[in-house]
Structure 1
């Protein structure tokens, strides 16, 4: 799985980096209303390949040596980070992943989000480690995501009003685009009316 492009152009001069109200090249299809909006979970990506082997997504910083058996997918031109897969068994998530496999029903090859108590501070409050198929959500969340706007201001407001990490749009041809609530600068507080 290649790194999914972000809907809006990132301003890397800001700390932390934020997005600008400018659509990233190649992501215009989202603004044009194409593709389905799905929930982006705050976990770590793993993949079950067609041969039945599990892989963990891993980024390697510029100048660092990739781990053994690492399969490179791509390198980000702006950050210099390389995205790829390493066997789950040698990853930092091996034990947690084994628990998640026992707690989940995984029947098909594909990508999954590894979620649970020891992953990214567990923002969704999972009691156990689980594997969530990418693009899947319960029907009430699917309906909520169908209401997501596709413009900068609307998305910023929509995401900041909800507990979700972000959105991933899936195009019928396989392309994907993402945006996270944290990609936007924090909204300005609303001024309280003068009580006097």
Structure 2
């Protein structure tokens, strides 16, 4: 009769584990992780040819021994938190990273009928400052560099776009061709779209900036169930480019919460 496999037994040298006991004073650490996080840890552990437990312990050992500084670790933790705080997808994913008919707990409000759906736009994030109906400033989203991260700077920010620089040429073209005459004074986060931006998935003929707070196209009657959303997104045309499919939908709750679903999130039928 085959022996039952002990919990936590490694693939290599199981007899060694059976005889191993932790040193005096050691404690056991337990943490809950998502399937994606677990897969990422396993991938690194396999490449390093160690167990996930040894991978985590090496991190703790590096911190205790001064190989990894507190600033470096805190920076990575904060960056990881930022990733977790990105707009969640409505449904859980399977091993192939496609969504399955299992709603995510934090998105329950969507399935309760709360919030409004808007078209998800795929472009470049910018910010326009308007005064008296005139564009007075254009900024682009910047992410911290490696040096910034070492300094503990982990949050992104907006920086002035270079009006005469080649790198910012097309977002300036989008900003200049956007009619802001009726916009209220203030700063407006937008998505810059057009022929020379992010591959132009909507096939637009001109560049334009779409303000999230003023003109995000909404879908009040958007369905909320898995099957209905799959069918809905399979044929949903972009309101900015008729004849092109919309990338997806972002649901907005009045209290600021958001949740998203993209057409390509669903498995191919």
Q: What TM-score results when the alignment is normalised by the length of structure 2? A: 0.52
- Select 2:93's aligned residue among 6, 10, 17: 10
The CA RMSD measured in Å over matched residues stands at 3.3
1: CA distance, partners of 2:216 / 2:129 = 22
Aligned to 2:43: none
| Matched residues, number | 165
Q: CA deviation at 1:117?
A: 0.3
1: CA distance, partners of 2:169 / 2:224 = 39
1: CA distance, partners of 2:89 / 2:166 = 26
Aligned to 1:56: 140
Is 2:171 aligned against 1:89? Answer: no
Q: Which has the higher contact order (CA 8 A, sep 6+)?
A: 1
| Bigger Rg, which one | 2
Aligned to 1:168: 250
SS across alignment from 1:125: coil
- Select 1:111's aligned residue among 166, 189, 195: 189
SS across alignment from 2:105: coil
- Select 2:175's aligned residue among 81, 94, 101: 101
Counterparts in 2 of 1:49 and 1:124: CA distance versus 1, 3 Å: same
Counterparts in 2 of 1:102 and 1:49: CA distance versus 1, 3 Å: closer
Q: Which has the higher strand share?
A: 1
1:86-123 deviation per Cα after TM superposition (whole angstroms, max 9, x unaligned): 52537985211111111013444132111000123222
Q: Which has the higher helix share?
A: 2
Structure 1 residue runs of 4 or more that deviate by more than 3 Å after TM superposition: 52-60, 90-93
Q: What TM-score results when the alignment is normalised by the length of structure 1? A: 0.69
Equivalences for 1:129-144 in 2 at 5 Å? 129-134=207-212, 136-137=215-216, 142=218
2: CA distance, partners of 1:59 / 1:124 = 25
Counterparts in 2 of 1:19 and 1:137: CA distance versus 1, 3 Å: same
Q: Structure 1: give runs of 5+ residues left out of the alignment.
A: 74-83, 189-196
